[in-house]
């Protein structure tokens, strides 16, 4: 346990220093309040023994400063000038004990022993809480496949674990050289100014150079004055001062993937090896989870690409449906913009439009390209394509929103559609939009058994079926865009 001894009387300091050191405590001495504050800013202490009357900064002012610290040490006041006023003030400031000079050593040792036992119990309690935080974070990380959510958990846990003011996570770019700042968390993010300040500090640290000095291995605690770290700070200035830096490398499958940097901007909060060890383990877990999420994302992308290629190949085989999805996507976008949907909704709709007939992969060409009316059995097969589409797209979690749109794109406003026979507003809006775009392209393109209708005829047909097949309000908006639609039609 570490004790800070503060007294302007050298003989008192000396005698206390000797006795406490002999008891096995680690003791640091300071000649007045200012010297003590300086020490408190550089190191962690468990207990401060302080005199009251001292030059420059007295004991009471020192205690007030200590109270402002995060995780402040306990304080015992030792004074020859006790007054009722100072005693009451001490109690108010949460001073642990109050001893009068001249003191006997047994009395001091007894008070110190009790204080440090209280401190030990508090620390144990805190460690237990920290372990619970770590455990919960570790569980949350393992069960997630969302990179940004994993990083959030990692940053949150680092914060509560280390009392950092700023945590910044960097990931290696595809070039395997550049570290890119991905997410950060700062204690004062609520205030914009503070957030900007903290971010600027994060930018001033050259992450790539920092990681290169420890070769992307392990976790390291640095003080800003450290000769190795100082050159890594691009423009260190007093206003951007930090008191401690904990830099943790992120490794997954033995491969370096990034770095987590924690900064303390609070005097007296200095990272320790304990923080370093605990967070290194969590960071390793986070790194594996990030890597897994990456792999998962890639697999999903490949799968999506494959599906898109299939869809493309399917359409390309038949001259009548060639480019159908592309056209439907264009018309759907015009209608969506006419409805003033936001960009997120529009993007989702366009994905759905591109993939709306993906389920036709499961239908034989003889039915799809049949130059005549379908038999009842054939029609039953065709009607399955929204269901097949849903099954094909369901494994891609990032496409979860478009699955119901693909599934319902053959519903009718009057409830006579398929697969569920939904009616009116029960049908999701993007599906109602898609139905109109789909029908318009089908009518205006040739089939083996009929000629293409012209645009005017197709618009008339949409209006005729508004309120039965189509959402009438959407038809109205679509028809208002005739000039735009005409410009997008196949030539
Ligand atoms: Fe369809």
Residues 355-371: tens digit of each pLDDT: 899 898 878 888 887 88
Residue 235 has pLDDT above 50, yes or no: no
- Give the CA distances from residue 323 to residues 240, 316, 392, 456, 486, in Å, rounded to whole numbers and listed in that order: 58, 7, 21, 21, 16
* Ligand 1 centroid to residue 342 C-alpha, Å: 25
Tell me what pLDDT residue 158 has.
Answer: 86
CA of 355 to the centre of ligand 1 (A): 10
Tell me: pLDDT of 136 over 50.
yes
Spatial distance between the Cα atoms of 253 and 291, rounded to a whole number of angstroms: 9
pLDDT of residue 374: 87
pLDDT (0 to 100) of residue 448 = 73
Looking at residue 236, its pLDDT comes to 44
Bond prior to 341 in cis (omega within 30° of 0): no
Q: Kindly report the backbone phi and psi dihedral angles of residue 113, in degrees, each rounded to the nearest multiple of 5, phi listed first.
A: -60, -45
- Model pLDDT, residue 490: 78
Could you tell me the strand order of the sheet in which 74-79 lies? 26-30, 2-6, 47-50, 74-79, 97-100
Q: Is the model more confident about 389 or about 182?
A: 389
- The CA-atom distances, in angstroms, between 164 and each of 44, 234, 254 are 14, 21, 27
Ligand 1: distance of its center to the CA of 491 in Å?
23
Bond into 386 cis (ω within 30): no
Which residues fall within 8 angstroms of residue 237, CB to CB, at 6 or more apart? none
pLDDT band at 427 (very low <50, low <70, confident <90, very high): very high
Read off the DSSP letter of residue 187.
T
Residue 434 Cα to ligand 1 midpoint, Å, equals 9
Least confident of 192-196, 383-387, 461-465: 192-196
Confidence of residue 204 (pLDDT cuts 50, 70, 90): low
Q: How many CB atoms neighbour CB 172 within 10 A? A: 19
pLDDT of the residue at 245 = 83
**Across all residues in the chain, what is the average pLDDT?**
85
pLDDT value at 223 more than 80: no
- pLDDT tens track for 428-463: 999 999 999 999 999 999 877 788 899 999 999 999
| pLDDT value, residue 300 | 79
CA atoms 132, 137, 138, 140: torsion sign: positive
Q: Can you give the pLDDT at residue 188?
A: 60
Contact status, residue 250 vs residue 111, Cβ threshold 8 Å: no
Q: Say what angle helices 273-317 and 324-338 make with each other, to 10 degrees.
A: 120
CA-based end-to-end distance of the chain: 84
Q: What is the pLDDT of residues 397-420, one digit of tens each?
A: 878 899 999 999 999 999 999 999
d(CA 345, CA 278): 43
Q: Are strands 47-50 and 74-79 parallel, antiparallel or unpaired?
A: parallel
3-state secondary structure of 450: strand
Widest CA span in the chain: 112
Regarding pTM above 0.85, the answer is: no
Predicted confidence (pLDDT) at residue 192 exceeds the cutoff of 50: no
Cβ atoms of 63 and 50 closer than 8 Å: yes
Residue 258: in which H helix or E strand, if any? strand 255-264
> Which residues does 297 contact at the CB level (< 8 Å), separation at least 6?
145, 147, 398
Q: What was the pLDDT predicted at 68?
A: 82
Percentage of residues in the chain with pLDDT exceeding 70? 90
Most confident of 19-33, 184-198, 204-218, 223-237: 19-33
Give the model's confidence band at 233: pLDDT under 50 very low, under 70 low, under 90 confident, else very high: low
The rounded Å distance from CA 302 to ligand 1 centre is: 24
Measured distance CA(196)–CA(425) in Å, rounded = 46
Of 69 and 38, the one with more pLDDT:
38
User: Would you say 407 and 390 are in contact if contact means Cβ atoms under 8 Å apart?
Assistant: yes
The Cα–Cα gap between 388 and 352 comes to: 14
CB 332 within 8 A of CB 349: yes
245 and 261 Cβ atoms separated by less than 8 Å: yes
- Ligand 1 midpoint to CA 357 (Å): 5
Tens of pLDDT along 331-356?
999 999 999 999 889 988 988 998 89
| Residue 392 Cα to ligand 1 middle (Å) | 14
386 CA distance to ligand 1 centroid (A)? 7
Check if the beta carbon of residue 269 is closer than 8 Å to that of residue 163: yes
CA of 344 to the centre of ligand 1 (A): 23
Quick check: 470 and 462 in contact, CB under 8 A? yes
298 Cα: distance to centroid of ligand 1 (angstroms): 28
**Apex CA 161: angle with CA 138 and CA 145, to 5°?**
25
- The domains found in the chain, sorted by start residue, are 2-119 (3.40.50.2300), 144-292 (3.30.450.40), 318-488 (1.10.3210.10)
Distance from the alpha carbon of residue 404 to the mean position of ligand 1, in angstroms: 13
Q: Are the C-beta atoms of residues 423 and 399 closer than 8 Å to each other?
A: no
Can you tell me the distance from the alpha carbon of 352 to that of 402, in angstroms, rounded to the nearest whole number?
A: 5
Residue 201 has pLDDT above 70, yes or no: no
**pLDDT recorded at residue 239:** 54
Cα of 436 from ligand 1 centre, angstroms = 11
Q: What is the pLDDT of residues 117-128, one digit of tens each?
A: 999 998 888 878
Measured in angstroms, how far is the CA atom of residue 389 from the centroid of ligand 1? 9
φ/ψ (deg, to 5) at 300: -65, -40
Q: What is the dihedral of CA 169, 198, 45, 91, to 10 degrees?
A: -130
CB-count burial class (<10 Å; 0-12, 13-18, 19+) for 415: middle
* C-alpha of residue 272 to centroid of ligand 1, in Å: 62
DSSP result, 335-351: HHHHTT--HHHHHHHHH
| Residue whose tokens read 């008192």 | 12
CA atoms within 13 A on the CB side of 351: 19
Distance 405 CA to ligand 1 centre (A): 11
Distance of CA 133 to the CA centre of its chain: 17
Mean pLDDT of 244-261: 86
Question: What's the DSSP call for residue 233?
Answer: B
């Amino acid at each position: 346990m570490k004790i800070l001894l503060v007294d302007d009387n050298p003989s008192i300091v000396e005698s206390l220093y000797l006795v406490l050191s002999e008891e096995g405590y680690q003791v640091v001495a300071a000649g007045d309040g200012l010297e003590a504050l300086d020490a408190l800013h550089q190191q962690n202490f468990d207990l401060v023994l302080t005199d009251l009357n001292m030059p420059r900064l007295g004991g009471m002012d020192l205690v007030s400063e200590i109270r402002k610290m995060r995780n402040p040490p306990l304080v015992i006041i030792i004074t020859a000038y006790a007054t009722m006023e100072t005693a009451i003030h001490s109690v108010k400031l949460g001073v642990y004990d109050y001893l009068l000079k001249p003191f006997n050593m047994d009395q001091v040792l007894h008070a110190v022993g009790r204080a440090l036992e209280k401190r030990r119990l508090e620390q144990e309690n805190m460690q237990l809480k920290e372990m619970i935080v770590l455990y919960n974070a570790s569980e949350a990380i393992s069960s997630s496949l969302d990179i940004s959510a994993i990083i959030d958990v990692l940053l949150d846990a680092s914060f509560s674990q280390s009392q950092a003011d700023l945590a910044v996570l960097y990931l290696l770019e595809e070039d395997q050289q550049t570290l890119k700042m991905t997410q950060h968390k700062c204690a004062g993010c609520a205030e914009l100014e503070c957030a900007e300040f903290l971010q600027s500090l994060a930018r001033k640290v050259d992450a790539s150079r920092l990681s290169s000095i420890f070769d992307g291995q392990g976790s390291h605690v640095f003080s800003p004055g450290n000769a190795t770290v100082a050159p890594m700070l691009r423009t260190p200035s007093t206003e951007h001062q930090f008191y401690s830096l904990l830099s943790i490398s992120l490794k997954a499958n033995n491969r370096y993937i990034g770095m987590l940097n924690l900064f303390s901007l609070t005097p007296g909060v200095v990272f320790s090896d304990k923080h370093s060890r605990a967070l290194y383990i969590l960071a390793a877990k986070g790194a594996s989870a990030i890597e897994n999420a990456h792999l998962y994302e890639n697999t999903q992308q490949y799968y999506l690409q494959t599906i898109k290629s299939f869809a493309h190949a399917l359409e390309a085989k038949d001259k009548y449906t060639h480019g159908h999805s592309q056209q439907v996507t264009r018309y759907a976008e015009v209608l969506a913009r006419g409805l003033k949907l936001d960009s997120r909704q529009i993007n989702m709709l366009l994905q759905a439009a591109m993939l709306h007939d993906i389920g036709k992969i499961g239908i034989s060409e003889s039915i799809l390209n049949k130059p005549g009316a379908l038999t009842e059995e054939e029609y039953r097969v065709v009607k399955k394509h929204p269901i097949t589409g849903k099954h094909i797209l369901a494994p891609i979690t990032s496409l979860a929103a478009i699955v119901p749109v693909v599934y319902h794109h053959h519903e009718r406003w009057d409830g006579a559609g398929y697969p569920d026979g939904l009616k009116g507003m029960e049908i999701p809006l993007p599906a109602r939009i898609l139905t109109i775009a789909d029908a318009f392209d089908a009518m205006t393109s040739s089939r083996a058994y009929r000629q293409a209708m012209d645009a005017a005829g197709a618009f008339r047909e949409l209006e005729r079926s508004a309120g039965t097949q189509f959402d009438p309000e959407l038809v109205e908006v679509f028809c208002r865009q005739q000039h735009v639609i005409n410009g997008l039609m196949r030539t």
